[in-house]
Structure 1
Amino acid sequence: MNRILAVHSSPRGERSHSRRLAEVFLDACLAAHPGAELTRREVGRGFIPHVNEAFVAAAFYPQPASRPLSMQADLALSDVLVDEVLGHELLVISAPMYNFSVPSGLKAWIDQIVRMGRTFDIIEDNGIAQYQPLVWGKRAVIITSRGGHGFGPEGPNAAFNHADTLLRTALGFIGIEDISVVAAEGEESDNQAFQASCVAAERQLRVLAEQLR
């Protein structure tokens, strides 16, 4: 893993548990891969514009090679964000669960990088659209914190989890299917239970960093 892209999505700073856990993992990765290059992308405390009509018109322009300059401008940030994803081998996303999903800044980032002709294509088969991913050979690690308990697979609240499950779907759609999820749960419970969950998550992240060698 020579190039790592870290995407932080919590609006909180030092109080963010997902950020802190991500830094534990990133430190372990850099220790295991001394020559690795780390790029950070802030989408929680830095503004990522939501998709608007101009973006959609430019993204689906029928002749991408001859887009008007105004449309190129509408896609300028998206091009930067897509290039970041394509230019790194490991994608690390830190994301708290907010109201059963991801923070709005992270959703805006997803909408900016899931781009026809850049990260996926559409091929018609007997008039029916078929989607083809364009991103290959990459891994992703999703590091998430949840206020409640039981949102993981087979948990009693798994059906309410539209956070890391959304990320899995979006990343898989563009071709990133090698995905690991590490979660800390229970911030809204007693502190002892939450701290135990964080310690377990830290241990899992350090092991995962070693396995990426």
Structure 2
Amino acid sequence: MSILRVDSSANTTDSVTRAMTDRIIATLGDTDVTVRDLALEPLPQITGTWAVARATPAEARSPEQAEALIESDKLVAELLAADTIVIGAPLYNFSVPASLKAWIDLIARTGVTFRYTETGPEGLVKGKRVIIAMASGGVPAGSPADFNTSYLKTVLGFMGMTDVTIVSADALAKDPDGTMARANDAIDALAA
């Protein structure tokens, strides 16, 4: 099994989501893991050049446009090569960290990861298992104030990834020990 691990917590030493993604990877067993650490290797924001380049056929792109898509192409290749995608997604101000949003902006590509048809959009990244490790101080996963997991499920589903499991540690400010015990039990159940 090939896994793409995407960590987005700015906290690189005591991160709950990083600990959760560590445990998820260990639970899934011996695998080929590609690590994309968005805090240690920040991604560029999309630019006007990038936006024009992604809509320009490859053979018609200028050298500057081709250059603008290099990182995006690499990220898409990592995504497509993985059987399972494990995403560490802490809740920052009710949503995903900016670093994770940048990753999504770079992989959501018309004609590459999704396309528009006469009957509506179609995701092109199919057959992937996605596990999202979400952490928050007190915003429950799936609640109206959780724009993190709802956004991720929507945008990943738009690209064709509909097998999405949320593992949450979402009451850390109230009950850190109980929250982590419940999250760890949920992670251990992933192996079943």
Mapped contact 1:185–1:194 kept (Cα < 8 A): no
CA distance in 1 between counterparts of 2:66 and 2:72 reads: 10
Alignment-derived partner of residue 128 in structure 2: 138
Percent sequence identity over aligned pairs: 31
Matches within 5 A, 1:96-115: 96-115=90-109
CA offsets per residue over residues 149-184 of structure 1, 9 Å max, x none? 4x233xxxx111110111111110010000000000
CA distance in 1 between counterparts of 2:130 and 2:59 reads: 30
**Helix, strand or coil for the counterpart of 2:9?**
coil
Alignment-derived partner of residue 40 in structure 2: 45
Q: 1:75 aligns with which of 51, 66, 69?
A: 69
CA distance in 1 between counterparts of 2:157 and 2:58 reads: 24
Higher CA-based Rg:
1
1:17 corresponds to which letter in structure 2? V
Report whether the alignment pairs 1:175 with 2:157: no
Alignment-derived partner of residue 86 in structure 1: 80
Instruction: Number of aligned residue pairs: give it.
Output: 192
How many Å apart are 1:187 and its aligned residue?
2.4
Report whether the alignment pairs 1:184 with 2:173: no
Give TM-score, length-normalised by structure 1: 0.86
Structure 2 unaligned regions, length at least 5: none
Structure 1 unaligned regions, length at least 5: none
Mapped contact 1:137–1:176 kept (Cα < 8 A): yes
RMSD: 1.3
**Helix, strand or coil for the counterpart of 1:159?**
coil
How many Å apart are 1:95 and its aligned residue?
0.9
2:45 corresponds to which letter in structure 1? H
CA distance in 1 between counterparts of 2:102 and 2:35 reads: 17
Q: 2:54 aligns with which of 52, 55, 59?
A: 59
